[in-house]
Amino acid sequence: MKASFLPILFAMGTAVCWGMYGTALGKARSFEQSPFKPYVFIGVAYLVWSIAGSFIAMYLKGEPIKFTTNGMIWGFASGTLGAFGAFFLTMAMFSGGAKFPHIVMATVFGFAVTVAAIFGVFGSEEKGGTGLWVGIGGMLVSAIIIALNTPHPHPPAKSVAPAAEEAPAAQLEGSTKSTET
């Protein structure tokens, strides 16, 4: 049987989009001067793209536009988890993570793979072998190594008012005089 590379390409597309998500969120925060305002448009984007994309894909595949109750419930639950994930990422950046977004993002994605694997094991009759648990540990170590070694530019320095610049200079002059005597 010939293997299809299409799932891998789509997975890579997901990784690229989600990998750029933190940087894009940081830019949105800097323009809005708020961690929460961008979250509104994250929700709008999810709504627009998920609904339009789903209907287009169903149309192209010739699928009927009918839904089951369980499909709607689990779809809503999945969307809720995605929305909470975006919210928690916003909170991670807001609570100090904006100073090191590369570490936050590596933590998110390294841990997400681990959570998916663990929930997959518990939701399946097959239990993961030693290789799975070694892989989970390796993913954690890899995420840490990548996060700690990824170069990222520092945000531009905030401009300081002239009066504020003079005050530290005056304090510095006073402190040097006291050390000389």
121-148, pLDDT tens digit by residue?
887 787 778 888 898 888 878 877 877 7
Could you please report the per-residue DSSP string of 95-137? TTGGGSHHHHHHHHHHHHHHHHHHHHHHTSSSPP-HHHHHHHH
**pLDDT at residue 103 is higher than 50:** yes
Q: Tokens standing for 75?
A: 């779809």
Percent residues over pLDDT 90 in the chain: 15
Instruction: Please state the φ and ψ torsions of residue 129, each to the nearest 5 degrees.
Output: -90, -170
Largest CA distance in the chain: 88
pTM over 0.75: no
C-alpha angle with apex 42: 55 to 115, nearest 5 degrees?
A: 85
Instruction: pLDDT band for 52, please (50, 70, 90 cuts).
Output: very high
**Which of 67-76, 100-109, 137-146 is most confident?**
67-76
Residue 96 zone, left/alpha/beta (φ > 0; ψ -120 to 50; rest)? left
Task: Give the type of residue at 50.
Answer: S
Q: Tokens standing for 70?
A: 């369980």
Instruction: pLDDT band for 180, please (50, 70, 90 cuts).
Output: very low
